[in-house]
Amino acid sequence: MKAQMITESQPSTLISEFPPRHSFLYKFQRWEWMLVALILLDILINVRLSPFFLDARNLSRTSSDFMEIGLMMLPMVFIIITGNIDLSIASNLGMSASFMGLLHNNGVNIWVAALAALLLGTLGGMLNGYLVARVKLPSLVVTLGTYAFYRGLAYGFLGDQAARGYPEAFTYLGQGRMFDTLIPFSVALFIVLAIVFGLVLHRTTFGRYLYAIGNNENATLYSGVPVERIKFIIYTLSGFMAALAGLILAARFGSTRPDIGTGLELAVITAVVLGGVDINGGRGTMLGAVLSLFLIGLMRFGMGLLNIQGQVQGVVIGLLLILSILLPNIAQQASFLKRFQRNGQLVFAVLGVLLMFVAFLLFFFWSRAPILAGG
């Protein structure tokens, strides 16, 4: 009994109730501040190169163009923090949207069809969660299989046809503006959900469990945390959000084809990892992922205004992703950072930002050269 009392009282003596204090300089070495600097620099460059970049209507229109990626990104942050992955999220989007289109083509009320699509997408997420959490199959293998399976179902629902003629009340989800302003409904929805997901991740026990699973799943399991249930929940949530993103995307296009959303899973994972979420799990913030999403959106918008080819845009974003993974790993392994940790981290962060934008500018001007020569 005495030993039990000592054990129960031990955590209160080992864990301080006060958070660790960090220097003012340390706070500005966080990856989120690097993303803020990248966003500001990207805005500055694009403002000087294009007079249309800060046009309010253009910004409003382009912000709604990547909100579907943002909606799918929110649960992906949860999944990657636990050390897992979901490659089927865009295929789930296509399956859900195609199922809604099939029901609509057969005369079903659009809102009943949308509800059925949400249910189907949630079931798709539950299947992933069951196979990963209960059957204990690798998430990469499971979601790679359902990636093909769900997209195949999308083509089975619509074939080579498209669903059209959605009512205006439904297309408002993807095309409407809030209270006669320039704020798209999809952006407002994303902001609200991002706040909710961020609070869950950083202010609840559930969020702490996600980090614990990503750091050491076995130790977390032995400590009594319901690891299987948590994995099942986050994959189910991912399925629901994929279906919701499918509805928003179909509403924005005003139609649905079975290939809708193809390739978006890579954009989602890029936004999460570029936002500072460790691909191996255990680290990352929701704020970083959101900042990364807007950085990618603004970069693509700016390059689009200058008629830069989509392939080159992909190269720039891919380069940023590779550097965002490579630089922290080099920082952890470099011996000089162990000796001069404080000064080394600051120097390394500055060098990382400079390298990213030197590469960005090289690709930018290289891709713009044919346009300037032709004009």
Tell me, letter by letter, the H, E, C secondary structure of 161-198: CCECCCCHHHHHHHHCEHHHCCCEHHHHHHHHHHHHHH
Percent of the chain with pLDDT strictly greater than 90: 59
Q: Which residue has the tokens 């500001």?
A: 40
* 3 state SS of 127: helix
Look at 14-18, 177-181, 245-249, 287-291 and tell me which has the smallest mean pLDDT.
Answer: 14-18
Does position 25 have pLDDT exceeding 60, yes or no?
no
Q: Please report which confidence band the pLDDT of residue 260 belongs to, taking 50, 70 and 90 as the band edges.
A: very high
Report the alpha-carbon distance of residue 30 to residue 352 in Å, rounded. 13
User: Would the CA dihedral through 55, 57, 63, 65 be positive or negative?
Assistant: negative
Report the alpha-carbon distance of residue 96 to residue 115 in Å, rounded. 10
- pLDDT, position 155: 96
Does position 333 have pLDDT exceeding 70, yes or no?
no
- pLDDT, position 29: 55
- pLDDT, position 344: 53
Report the alpha-carbon distance of residue 79 to residue 301 in Å, rounded. 28
Specify the DSSP class assigned to residue 30.
S
Does position 240 have pLDDT exceeding 90, yes or no?
yes
Strand partners, 177: 184
Q: Please report which confidence band the pLDDT of residue 4 belongs to, taking 50, 70 and 90 as the band edges.
A: very low
Q: Which helix (H) or strand (E) holds 8?
A: helix 2-14
Report the alpha-carbon distance of residue 12 to residue 35 in Å, rounded. 37
Indicate the pTM of the whole model: 0.83
- pLDDT, position 308: 81
Determine the Cα angle at 249 with ends 246 and 251, to 5°. 105
Q: Which of 52-66, 106-120, 360-374 has the highest mean pLDDT?
A: 106-120
Does position 356 have pLDDT exceeding 80, yes or no?
no
- pLDDT, position 309: 79
Report the alpha-carbon distance of residue 243 to residue 99 in Å, rounded. 10
What's the token pair of residue 309? 């080819």
Report the alpha-carbon distance of residue 185 to residue 178 in Å, rounded. 6
What's the token pair of residue 275? 């936002």
Average model confidence (pLDDT) across the chain: 84
**What's the Rg (C-alpha) of the chain?**
23
Q: Which residue has the higher pLDDT, 120 or 12?
A: 120
Does position 371 have pLDDT exceeding 50, yes or no?
no
- pLDDT, position 304: 86
* Residues 274-319: tens digit of each pLDDT: 998 998 999 999 999 999 999 999 988 988 888 887 777 778 777 7
* Residues 157-201: tens digit of each pLDDT: 999 889 999 999 999 999 999 988 889 999 999 999 999 999 999
Mean pLDDT to the nearest integer, 244-255:
96
Report the alpha-carbon distance of residue 355 to residue 176 in Å, rounded. 40
Report the alpha-carbon distance of residue 207 to residue 230 in Å, rounded. 10
DSSP-assigned letters across all residues of 308-358: --HHHHHHHHHHHHHHHHHHHHHHHH-HHHHHSHHHHHHHHHHHHHHHHHH
- pLDDT, position 307: 83
Mean pLDDT to the nearest integer, 346-374:
56
Does position 106 have pLDDT exceeding 50, yes or no?
yes
Based on the number of CB atoms within 10 Å of its own CB, is 271 exposed (0-12), middle (13-18) or buried (19 or more)? buried
Residue 80 and residue 273 in contact, taking contact as beta carbons nearer than 8 Å: yes
- pLDDT, position 335: 46
Q: Which residue has the higher pLDDT, 54 or 4?
A: 54
Report the alpha-carbon distance of residue 162 to residue 9 in Å, rounded. 64
Q: What does residue 177 show for φ and ψ, rounded to 5 degrees?
A: -115, 150
